[in-house]
Chain A
């Protein structure tokens, strides 16, 4: 967790071997066929997975379904996360000395998402603490070196990637925050995921999943997944075969959970640290009794 992005890209990066990609594809296709038979998915109505849904299904199926079903509205933390995310992308596509909150919000609006600008306008002067929080996080991101990456690395933001399994029975899709290199640049791919909160180990999974998806799409394994966090953490991880295998296993497991839900099984409630920020905790018996440190209260 010590390597900065600039340091990583300044050194020659070995492209990992592409051996094993075909086997991973075959495993995932077989898993998608098997779970598709249980879940009843097909080309007309496939299972659509994103990084959030994969993590959500593995962490707490009840919360994952609830978040998809109800328009809960973004919390202030989420709004700050979106601003930080936009600031990182703006720094990537338009190198500048510093990115302000206003510049990041204007960039988001220009991209077609006016929801953050609307929210800040609705809050009026009450948005002050939120703005200050976002500004502090953007400042900490500045050290990540995103804006200093050379054009030869083909910086692109929100790189879309989509993989169809079992002929389209399961679709896994997402947008990589920032992608450097990869075909046809002649340089190995480097995935960057930007996180607006505080570092925790589970954040790594998103980069692993995207590495797997890029390998399946491009036939080349990216060299690294970098997680840049607004608490100042930069996590650089070389993509090893074991990481891809692990990502494939998570995907397989998520498909299994989804198949059981689609077949009518009630969603499991899996309390944990994620309950602290769960928008449906008030309606969740397991979540209400969960306390940090493992001491659950009596209902």
Chain B
């Protein structure tokens, strides 16, 4: 890949082609390490990429629930429902020919839920039908089941997502912002499979795109987080989403805009060759660890202790994790544990 003087990839289409070729080959190599057919479903999203990179042992021990798409739940559906509701809100306004008003988060969520449930009330003056989607189908199922607690939890999570997104991005939304979601006015979900029969799905977590996709690149992927993590992971996150986005779109984005609802931050990470390479490594590492898990399962030999050990299901079987908890792990959030007979190691 060739970078410009500013670090940006000079040939966004060619770079994406080469990335696809390289990723396809390395993923095939990784899968070949497992017995044929032993790896049946690998969902490569940011959570898996972060998990496999920060503690391979823990990722291998997660089992099917952690390796494949875990299914919709209120926390997981927050972004998808929030985006779909926002798309629907804008579509309603478009139909009247007026600029969309500032959405009321809970009302927008409820209006979208009603629209997918009823299929809209097509006809002159009626609201348009909401587009079908995987998360929309799940909401319909939950509704059919009369599970009002789950619907309320979805409203809470998705309303919070929508409110934070609009607060940080501003209203009206930036020109040329296209949300990822269902419907003709939105961008389709960014997914890539190395081959038709591959068990691997690479899922870009971008919530929106800023700018049009052209062969010149230059567009940005927007990733909104309800809560921020440590800045150390920010470049990793941008790298993963840039590579996953390039694989799905076929064009390397110019940058990744990462926002956070809890801090109000907007951080732009330019995409250059180093960022793409890092992202591709993260993607391939997930598949490699998943393939290794067939034979090894949870094997603590490469357990990588961190604060995540405090909530790890495998800690009791993980000597590195246990040792860390007795040492540096005794410090939590910058404070020592009690009792503290002597100053513990940090």
A residues at B contact (CB < 8 Å): 39-41, 43-49, 53, 62, 65-66, 68-70, 89-90, 93-94, 103, 106-107, 109-112, 151-152, 154-164, 168, 170, 173, 182-185, 217-218, 258, 261-262, 264, 266-267
Residues of chain B with a CB closer than 8 A to A68's CB: 332-333, 335, 337-338
Mark B51-82 against chain A: 1 for CB-CB distance below 8 A, else 0.
00000000000000000000001110000000
With A45-B346, A151-B107 in contact, is A93–B156 under 8 Å at CB? yes
For residues 211 through 259 of chain B, which have their beta carbon under 8 Å from a beta carbon of chain A?
Answer: 226-228, 230-232
CA of A2 to CA of B93, assembled, Å: 42
Binding site for A on B (CB under 8 A): 73-75, 102, 104-107, 147-153, 155-157, 159-160, 163-164, 166-167, 170-171, 226-228, 230-232, 260-264, 330-340, 343, 346
- With a cutoff of 8 Å between Cβ atoms, the chain B residues found around residue A155 in the complex are 106, 159
| A53 contacts across to B, CB distance below 8 A | 333
Contacting residues, chain B, for A47 (C-beta < 8 A): 333-335
- B152 near A107: Cβ-Cβ < 8 Å: yes
Q: Tell me which residues across on chain B come within 8 A of A90, comparing CB atoms.
A: 152
Give bound CA distance, A193 to B324, whole Å.
Answer: 37
If A94-B155, A151-B104 touch, whether A184 touches B171 (CB-CB below 8 Å) is yes
- With A151-B106, A151-B107, A168-B231 as contacts: A262 and B152 at CB distance below 8 Å: no
CB nearest neighbor in B for A257: B335
Asked if A110 and B332 make an inter-chain contact with CB atoms under 8 angstroms apart, the answer reads: no
What 18 additional pairs, Cβ within 8 angstroms, besides A68-B338, A93-B152, A163-B263? A40-B346, A47-B333, A48-B333, A53-B333, A65-B335, A69-B332, A70-B338, A107-B149, A107-B152, A109-B149, A110-B150, A112-B74, A152-B104, A154-B163, A160-B262, A161-B262, A184-B166, A262-B336
- Cα-based distance from A70 to B325 in the complex (angstroms): 13
On chain B, the residues within 8 Å of A217 by CB distance are: 262-264
Q: Which residue of B lies closest to A182 (CB)?
A: B167
Q: Which residues of B contact A41 (CB under 8 A)?
A: 334
CB-defined contacts of B164 to chain A, threshold 8 Å: 160
- Residues of B with C-beta under 8 A to A45: 331, 334, 346
Residue of B75, B166, B167, B232 touching A43 (CB-CB under 8 A): B232
Chain B residue nearest in CB terms to A70: B338
Q: Point out the residues of chain B lying under 8 angstroms from A106, CB to CB.
A: 149
Q: Per a CB cutoff under 8 Å, which of B74, B264, B333, B339 touches A111?
A: B74
Inside 8 A of A66's CB, which chain B residues have their CB? 338
Nearest A-chain residue to B330, judged by Cβ: A69
Query: Across the two chains, which residue of chain A brings its CB closest to B331?
Result: A45
Residue pair A110, B155 in contact (C-beta under 8 Å): no
Q: Is the Cβ of B75 less than 8 Å from the Cβ of A264? A: no
Number of A-B contacts (CB under 8 A): 132
Across the interface, do B338 and A69 meet the contact criterion of CB distance under 8 Å?
A: yes
**Those 8 A-B pairs whose CB atoms lie nearest each other, nearest first:** A48-B333, A47-B334, A110-B153, A106-B149, A160-B262, A151-B104, A69-B337, A65-B338
A280 to chain B: closest CB distance in Å?
A: 8
Select B334's contact among A46, A151, A163, A164, beta carbons within 8 Å. Answer: A46
A103 B149 Cβ-Cβ under 8 A: yes
- A selection of 29 A-B contacts at a CB cut-off of 8 Å is A40-B346, A43-B232, A46-B333, A49-B333, A65-B336, A65-B337, A66-B338, A68-B335, A68-B338, A69-B330, A69-B339, A93-B156, A94-B151, A106-B149, A107-B152, A110-B74, A111-B157, A156-B105, A156-B106, A156-B160, A160-B261, A162-B227, A162-B262, A162-B263, A185-B102, A217-B264, A261-B336, A262-B336, A267-B338
Does B159 lie within 8 Å of A94, measured CB to CB? no
- A102 CB to closest chain B CB (Å) equals 9
A261 near B163 (CB under 8 angstroms)? no
A69–B330 CA distance with the chains assembled, in angstroms: 8
Residues of chain A with a CB closer than 8 A to B343's CB: 264
Could you tell me the distance between the alpha carbons of A103 and B331 in the complex, rounded to whole angstroms?
A: 38
In the assembled complex, the Cα of A48 lies from the Cα of B167 at a distance in Å of 25
**Bound Cα distance A254, B163 (Å):** 31
B340: chain A residues within 8 A (beta carbon): 65, 266-267
Contact of B264 among A94, A218, A266 (CB under 8 A): A218
In the bound complex, how far is the Cα of B341 from the Cα of A196, in angstroms?
Answer: 36
Pair B334/A39 contact, Cβ less than 8 Å: yes
In the assembled complex, the Cα of A68 lies from the Cα of B74 at a distance in Å of: 28
Alpha-carbon separation in the docked complex, A26 to B167 (Å): 24
Whose C-beta in chain B lies nearest to the C-beta of A186?
Answer: B102
In the complex, what's the smallest C-beta–C-beta distance from A160 to chain B, in angstroms?
4
Q: Which of A48, A65, A107, A154 lies at the interface centre, i.e. has the most chain B CB atoms within 10 A of its CB?
A: A154
A154 to B105, Cβ gap below 8 A? yes
Residues of B contacting A69 with CB < 8 Å? 330, 332, 337-339
Q: Could you tell me the distance between the alpha carbons of A287 and B231 in the complex, rounded to whole angstroms?
A: 41
Most chain A beta-carbon neighbours within 10 Å: one of B156, B263, B332: B156
Residues of B with C-beta under 8 A to A267: 338, 340
B73 A112 Cβ-Cβ under 8 A:
yes
CB <8 Å contact, A173 and B262: yes
B339: A residues at CB distance < 8 A? 69
